[in-house]
Chain A
Amino acid sequence: MKTIYLDNNATTQVDPAVFEAMKPYFTELYGNPSSMHRFGGQVGVKLKEARASVANLLGCAPEEIIFTSCGSESDNTAIRSALAARPERRHIITTAVEHPAILSLCKFLEKRDGYEVTYLGTDDRGRLDLDEYKAAIRPDTAIVSIMWANNETGNIHPIEEMAKIAKEHDVFFHTDAVQAVGKVDIDLSKVPVDMLSLSGHKLHGPKGVGALFVRKRLPFRPYLIGGHQERSRRAGTENTTGIIALGKACELAREHMKEENTEVKRLRDKLETGLLKAIPDTKLNGDPEHRLPNTTNISFGYVEGEAILLMIDQMGIAASSGSACTSGSLEPSHVLRAMGVPFTFAHGSIRFSLSRFNTEEEIDFVIETLPPIIKNLRKLSPFSADKKAPACTKSFSE
């Protein structure tokens, strides 16, 4: 059975051209770029090219790019660097809908190191409130960390405006742009963020490589201490194959940016409209006006997400869910809960995230396959639109 892969916000296929670009650096050109000999030195040249390619995609200078092992490392490095650079500041601002890489770190810093953290809420579409944000900034705010785009809903946050506000208050601004890089235009010559995280495997590069943009002259404290690699900002022998692949992936992302925002978006819209039309009691989660072009998050009322995922898995369709059963805990997705999505819909939410490798036929197949599956699961369910569900003793907000 062919897999119809609609889980590209989880990870993406390595573009064959990216794989070709990295291959020789495993077996033939395996030198260490720090070595004095030409054998290693020639790899160093390729790293330089890769750095320029990443910078080119982001609209920044190559020296502002630090290669890391993943998005989470970039996030951890950014936050810890800001805190170490201004130790007298003890307050952090982030959002309730961040990726665990930020959220768990903030919870940890709160609990273990006594930092104060403000978690900005959202409205029912997952939109942040700029007034709430402005009011949260304090003289002792060390850093603001707000994701460029949300992984579950695809919502794009007003990063440019928020970064400007932080700048006015002399507060460092970091953005986790792992989901945004490669999908939407990012121009750091115009958007005044201080630090930005990205990850290779979300844009058709391999897993195990990421990058952190750190604006010139921003005080920086390294997280990994050791050798002089990355201008002593991130120790450890360079992941040469990964970095070269990331460079190629960024180059391709630039080339495909238009396609991402026209063709991928068209297929996403077709899928979304098709499903919402064909299946009653469905609801779109997120902000349709400010969204990644590849993501749609749809709730199917009165059915549970894991059951949907396993049913469509039988048909070769790969997607993900914000249901409790798949979130690794007993509660549904923290993003949907922060948005106040009613329980009737939160448990049955499915995220479809596309890429340039999806085809029209695949989307047509999904639009055809989903309705009978939902219908069958609803037949199993004791709840329906006319048979209102009894309330639970639940205390968290609806």
Chain B
Amino acid sequence: MWEYTDKVKDHFLNPRNVGTLEDADGVGEVGSLACGDALTLYIKVDDEGKISDAKFQTFGCASAIASSSALTEMLIGKTVEEAEKISNKDIAEYLGGLPREKMHCSVMGQEALEQAIKNMRGEAPSKMEHSHEGELICECFGVFDEEILHAIKENDLKTVEDVTNFTKAGGGCGKCIPDLERLLAEAHGEGVCPTPSSKPAFPAEGMTNIQRMHLIESVIDNDVRPKLQADGGNIELVDIDRDAVVVRFLGMCSGCPSSQATLKNLVETALREKVDPALTVREG
């Protein structure tokens, strides 16, 4: 059972602006039946450059239908310039959020919008096609490098799992996962340090999730544990969930009134300095 917000449910059960526009100024078609979801978006623009009407047809799950419906509602009344700024994040936020596994539905909406605007300007056919320079990364779902890089930057994606949730790439046979790791490293290399620099901003930058987990483990083993053991205590790594590190205190440390201070001053400081400043540590 997927957990959807009331707004997603509402847009799924009562979708707005369903249909086609015969005299559309721009049409964007993305996805395909084989891929499991597809969206055709129609926009009509008035003399003042405002989107006067938008309609859609969607094949897909509840969140795909809701994202498309929400998108049309967001578009109507906006100028094309304003509409161009709508990101997949905006669509998801408009719906009160989407399950992480379903974020690719909002990405599909954003891509259809981009395509429809290009089509309106005469820059592209309605159907999304990829430039030949682009590299096909995920053969299962037909995802190109440019889409993946765009999604990584737009949504600040950090892990391969994230990339799959947002673009579907890697969700099939899994053969392209090394490529996704490479693109993640590439995107973050550029995104975090605008000036080319060989020195990463922090030790875990550009690392894969697995590499980062190993680094966290080794910092706990080598830097944190010996200090606690000196006081008759110990620490155990319980879980790593994105930026949240969960640990458990053992021995003298467990139940020690100053364990909260130890947590912040010793463990968190070490991990932030030696792995990633975004990390937070809590007891689990």
Contact = CB atoms under 8 A, between A and B. Distances in A.
B36 A393 contact: no
B36 A325 contact: yes
**Candidate in B38, B127, B136 with the most chain A CB atoms within 10 angstroms:** B38
A332 B58 contact: no
A332 B168 CA distance: 13
Interface stretch (A126-134, A181-189, A301-309): A301-309
B278 interface: no
A329 B136 CA distance: 21
Given A390-B33, A391-B32, 13 more contacts: A307-B12, A310-B12, A323-B36, A330-B172, A347-B33, A347-B36, A381-B59, A382-B40, A382-B58, A392-B34, A394-B34, A395-B139, A395-B140
A389 interface: yes
A380 B72 CA distance: 14
B57 A324 contact: no
Interface of B: 2, 12-13, 15, 18, 29, 32-40, 57-62, 64-65, 127, 136, 139-142, 164, 168, 171-173
Contacts of A324: 36
Nearest to B104: A330
Contacts of B64: 304
A383 B33 contact: yes
A379 interface: yes
Nearest to B169: A330
**Candidate in A305, A307, A332 with the most chain B CB atoms within 10 angstroms:** A307
A344 B57 contact: no
Interface of A: 302-307, 310-311, 314, 323-325, 329-332, 343-344, 347, 379-383, 389-396
A382 B39 contact: yes
Given A304-B36, A306-B61, A314 B140 contact: no
A380 B15 contact: yes
Contact of B59 (A304, A391, A395): A304
B35 A392 contact: yes
A304 B37 contact: yes
B141 A330 contact: yes
Contact of A323 (B57, B58, B61): B61
7 contacts: A302-B59, A325-B2, A330-B164, A330-B171, A347-B36, A380-B57, A394-B139
A310 B11 CA distance: 13
A381 B58 contact: yes
Contacts of A310: 12, 62
Contacts of A304: 36-37, 59-61, 64
A396 B175 CA distance: 13
A111 to B, nearest CB: 13
Contacts, number: 97
A303 B33 CA distance: 9
A344 B33 contact: yes
B38 A383 contact: yes
B13 A393 contact: no
Contacts of A330: 36, 141, 164, 168, 171-172
B62 A307 contact: yes
Nearest to B62: A310
Nearest to A302: B59
Contacts of B171: 329-331
A331 B12 CA distance: 22
B59 A303 contact: yes
Contacts of B15: 380
A238 to B, nearest CB: 33
| 7 tightest Cβ-Cβ pairs between the two chains A and B | A330-B171, A393-B142, A392-B34, A389-B33, A306-B61, A382-B57, A325-B61
A348 to B, nearest CB: 9
Contact of B36 (A302, A311, A332): A332
Contacts of B140: 331, 394-396
A221 to B, nearest CB: 33
Nearest to A330: B171
Contacts of B58: 380-382
Given A329-B171, A330-B172, A381-B57, A389 B139 contact: no
Contacts of A396: 140, 172-173
Contacts of A329: 171
A307 B61 contact: yes
A329 B164 CA distance: 10
Contacts of B37: 304
Given A330-B141, A396-B172, A382 B29 contact: yes
A249 B175 CA distance: 45
A305 to B, nearest CB: 8
A310 B9 CA distance: 9
Contacts of A381: 57-59
B32 to A, nearest CB: 4
A393 B59 contact: no
A306 B59 CA distance: 11
A144 B168 CA distance: 35
A330 B103 CA distance: 12
A103 to B, nearest CB: 15
Contacts of B36: 304, 323-325, 330-332, 343, 347
Nearest to B172: A331
Nearest to B105: A325
